[in-house]
Amino acid sequence: MRVLMFGWEFPPHISGGLGTACFGLTRGLSYISDLQVLFVVPKAFGDEEQHGISLIGANKVPVKHRKLNLKHFSRKLDYIEVGSRMMPYTDPDEYFQIQKSKSEKSAFQYVQTDEFGQIPFTGAYGANLLQEIHNYALVSNVIAQDYAFDLIHAHDWLTYPAGIAAKEATGKPLVVHVHATDFDRSGGSVNPVVFDIEKKGMEAADKVIAVSNLTRRTVIEKYGINADKVVTVYNAVEPLEKNDKPAFQKGTNEKVVTFLGRITMQKGPEYFVEAAHRVLQKTQNVRFVMAGSGDMMHRMVRRAAQLKIMDKFHFTGFLRGEEVFSMLAMSDLYVMPSVSEPFGISPLEAMQSNVPVLISHQSGVAEILTYAIKTNFWDVDAMADAIYGVLNYPALSKMFVKHGKEEVDSLKWEKSALDVKAVYDAVLQQFY
Amino acid sequence: MKTVCLYFQVHQPFRFRRYRFFDIGNDHYYFDDYTNESILNKIAVNCYLPTNNLLLKLIRQHKGKFKVAFSITGVAIEQFKLYAPEVLESFRALAATGQVEFLAETYAHSLVALKDEDAFRQQVNMHSEMVEELFGQKPAVFRNTELIYSDHIGDMVSRMGFKAMLTEGAKHVLGWKSPNFLYCNTVNPRLKVLLKNYKLSDDIAFRFGNKEWDEWPLTSSKFANWVNQLDKKEEVVNLFMDYETFGEHQSKETGIFEFLEYLPKEILRHKSLKFATPSEVVSELQVIAPVNVPHPISWADEERDLTAWLGNEMQQEAFDKLYALLPKMNRCTDSRLLKDWNYLQCSDHFYYMCTKFFSDGDVHAYFNPYETPYEAFINYMNVLSDFSIRLNAAVPFSSEEKELANLAGILEDRDEKIKKLEEELQKLRSRKKKKPAPKTSSATEKKKTPKAAANVKSKK
């Protein structure tokens, strides 16, 4: 079986959740013996990458076909890069950088969604992104005709049109993978253009894979997709690479409670601040850390100052690889109060580092975790209660760490890949 | 006869380095030495050295008719000693002319007057002692940080024994009254109050080089004419400004040095004008009325109030959390902590957290190491967190902290003891190599060492 997959660049090139998930899943699929993946990604070519590029399509789009030999993959990966400037929302720092550099005319620019993964449809910018999506679909049509495969798999809405185009060109079945919907990103006020693309993609698909039941429900209820067509396949997490020693050591003997992620509405940072305030009224032997950046950061700083907890509440700004590891290593509790999280891989990473986690019921990952404390994102009192409990009753924390580690170690991409394979099989059975 | 009173403020803070959450408890050095040194050296070259030389020349030239006053913060003096001792020397040369008065203020350029009288007095005494030691004169006139003044602060200052204090001639305080007279404190009329003529002061300090200004270019003779044309009954014109006006805020190219060079001559050309130091003004003039200031005023920004330092919730939080440490600080004797405590109090840290971008953003951006006020706040609170951890260790309050401090002390003692014993052991061993040492003594030593080591391990 050969699968034509429209995915996203792997980390570290793009460190967003989407790239991580694509990488994990593709790696998992590489262990299935009769399955080959032809992986297509949009990539903004710089001047330095002229080697091995061919041009296709009416617009002379540069395309580069490579065989990647990746670590931990069981075989080489067919990898096609298509010249396109679209990329999903990645991380706030990069986003700010790109926003800044936008005014300075550079040789090439990314067409970029904003920090909620939405595109600002104002003026030429929005039209540009739609143009890019359209171009990408055209090229996909050509690629689909050039290569042999049995099935098409498209990840998230920017690539749905490409999936549809490939299906139209070859008549092969299409699977779309929903990592997030615009309802998650926008907090309810969806962008009609994005909604339309998402809906068309799901309707054209023979099967829709959702990353959690939460997302599956959204797909069924909000996009009116037939429930039989929508399957939940949970994400997993890459096993922890053995690091020798964190770069930073904890400098105090106080407990540390950590929020790690984009400081945006979707992640519910304000509930973390309020919960911290409540906890600090009961105990002083704790510090709260909000690691990350985002458009709500300044509001959070002000709120923490208003609550007069800034001597115990710290902002680190955006953290990079090694720093994230250090931050987790010094944490006694990880909190993810997301308002709407399709899945949420980061709590799994915390559990791998032996940190107990507190997550909201409104996150997909809550459906599969047993050894995690769960509250509603808005229930600040319950959250404060749980934080206080974990900090003050060591037995609780010990239990979560021990069983949580076992639990998270059992969540393997190989297993998710088998579930995806089952979806492929069902589609092909239907089809042929 | 009208008196012109020139007063210059000299201050530079120790700016903090980027102090991250990860540094808390690990690294106790808070300062950005490179930035501090390079900024100080830059100002020394552009402003302090050339202006001091010019003033020295003018004082000699006018033989007792030209006088100025300075206030130099302790923090600035420390930086001179560290990075540019020649600046300090040139100030001392000015002091030696006898025509320069040095005023008192808080050592660390702090806002402590708004919080605690005892700490306020301590810091002022510390500064006065420094001035006396360096410049050989005991300050008799006081200027508070950023000219912050209220009836209450004036009262405290009066009780400290100062005869006069400088502040802003803020419009919302004076109303129709003129700043060009000598006033006194309402609570304690013995304290005279000199009010800054902000119009004429700011003509030099802010507007001098502005080509959009309809009075540009401002010459010394034009300025002297303005002063001369003031109402005949008015007695004193107080020109108070940052010393960095000369060569830094107003660059050399604007002609600010030429302006200063000819200013004394042009002023003294008018028979009815003369120069005096604040002390002389106070002893020569009669008080015309008390000035009523129930709420603190300052010389900063359009509002002339405290909002530049304590205007938003971040500044309030930082300020309150800082002075919440005061009771512990009073019991602290650790010299390094005391030093950092001074630097932490500099009003500049709070100034960087100001969010009034629109009206006075430019002024706030001077030598500001932070991109946003939020960054300034986060950084400050991180430093403060580390500082309070250190303070808690040095001045234990709760019984648990005391116990911890005790144990830490014991550990240190033991470590030292082990070191000593190990050295002794080494000596004995090396002696043994040469010739067998007396058996008894070495045996007892050996027994002692492992025991002590084990003891320490279990404690850890």
CB-based contact A285:A254 (threshold 8 Å): yes
Tell me what pLDDT residue A176 has.
Answer: 96
Summarised one tens digit per residue, pLDDT across range A336-347 is: 999 999 998 889
Summarised one tens digit per residue, pLDDT across range A1-27 is: 899 999 887 776 654 678 888 889 999
* B314:A302 CB<8 A: yes
Tell me what pLDDT residue B429 has.
Answer: 87
pLDDT band at A270 (very low <50, low <70, confident <90, very high): very high
* Whether residue A44 has pLDDT greater than 90: no
Tell me what pLDDT residue B108 has.
Answer: 95
* A305:B382 CB<8 A: no
pLDDT band at B67 (very low <50, low <70, confident <90, very high): very high
Residues of B whose CB is below 8 A from A273: none
* A311:B381 CB<8 A: yes
Across A203-212, B334-343, B429-438, least confident range = B429-438
Mean pLDDT of B387-406: 81
Residues of A whose CB is below 8 A from B389: 251-252
Mean pLDDT of A342-366: 93
Mean pLDDT of B241-258: 95
* A251:B316 CB<8 A: no
Which residue ranges form the domains of chain A, and what is each CATH number? 2-236+413-431 (3.40.50.2000), 255-409 (3.40.50.2000)
pLDDT band at A252 (very low <50, low <70, confident <90, very high): confident
Q: Tell if the pTM clears 0.90, that is, is over it.
A: no
Q: Please give the sequence-ordered ranges of beta strands (E in DSSP) within A96-150, or none if there are none.
A: 111-112
Residue B213 contacts A, CB cutoff 8 Å? no
Structural tokens at position B343: 């630097």
The mean pLDDT of chain B is 90
- Crossing angle between the packed helical segments B74-83 and B85-96, to the nearest 10 degrees: 120
Tell me what pLDDT residue A91 has.
Answer: 41
Tell me what pLDDT residue A265 has.
Answer: 86
* Whether residue B381 has pLDDT greater than 90: yes
d(C-alpha A56, C-alpha B121), whole Å:
80
Residue B25 contacts A, CB cutoff 8 Å? yes
Tell me what pLDDT residue A99 has.
Answer: 47
The residue of chain A nearest to residue B388, with distances taken between CA atoms, is A311
CB-based contact A37:A5 (threshold 8 Å): yes
Tell me what pLDDT residue B362 has.
Answer: 62
Residue A299 contacts B, CB cutoff 8 Å? no
* Whether residue B193 has pLDDT greater than 90: yes
The residue of chain A nearest to residue B383, with distances taken between CA atoms, is A311
* Whether residue B433 has pLDDT greater than 80: no
Tell me what pLDDT residue B443 has.
Answer: 47
Residue B386 contacts A, CB cutoff 8 Å? yes
In eight-state DSSP terms, residue A366 is G
* Whether residue A57 has pLDDT greater than 70: no
Tell me what pLDDT residue A321 has.
Answer: 74
Tell me what pLDDT residue B447 has.
Answer: 47
The residue of chain A nearest to residue B20, with distances taken between CA atoms, is A316
Summarised one tens digit per residue, pLDDT across range B91-145 is: 999 999 999 999 999 999 999 999 999 999 999 999 999 999 999 999 999 999 9
* B317:A287 CB<8 A: no
Tell me what pLDDT residue A94 has.
Answer: 45
Summarised one tens digit per residue, pLDDT across range A121-179 is: 433 334 567 777 888 888 888 888 888 999 999 999 889 999 999 999 999 999 999 99
CB-based contact A355:A349 (threshold 8 Å): no
Summarised one tens digit per residue, pLDDT across range B169-191 is: 999 999 999 999 999 999 999 99
Share of chain A above pLDDT 90, in %: 53
Mean pLDDT of B294-313: 92
* Whether residue A116 has pLDDT greater than 90: no
d(C-alpha A370, C-alpha A359), whole Å:
11
* A249:B26 CB<8 A: yes
In sequence order, which residues have a C-beta less than 8 Å from that of residue B41 and are 6 or more positions away?
B83, B84
The mean pLDDT of chain A is 84
Integer Rg of chain B from CA = 27
Listing DSSP states for B91-105 in one string gives HHHHHHTS-EEE-B-
Tell me what pLDDT residue A240 has.
Answer: 80
Tell me what pLDDT residue B406 has.
Answer: 79
In angstroms, what CA-CA distances link A39 with A1, A80, B90, B128?
A: 14, 6, 73, 75
Count H helices, E strands: chain B?
20, 12
Residues of A whose CB is below 8 A from B314: 301-302, 305, 310
Tell me what pLDDT residue A128 has.
Answer: 66
pLDDT band at A63 (very low <50, low <70, confident <90, very high): confident
The count of other CB atoms within 10 Å of the CB of residue A295 is 16
Interface probe for B, chosen from A315, A318, A323, A325 (most Cβ of B below 10 Å), is: A315
* Whether residue A114 has pLDDT greater than 70: no
Across A78-82, A307-311, B418-422, B435-439, least confident range = B435-439
Q: Which residue from A76, A79, A68 is spatially nearest to A30, judged by alpha carbons?
A: A76
Residue B20 contacts A, CB cutoff 8 Å? yes
Mean pLDDT of B56-78: 96
Share of chain B above pLDDT 70, in %: 91
Which are the catalytic amino acids of B? 146
Listing DSSP states for B129-168 in one string gives HHHHHHHS----EEE-GGG-B-HHHHHHHHHTT-SEEEEE
- Crossing angle between the packed helical segments B85-96 and B49-62, to the nearest 10 degrees: 10
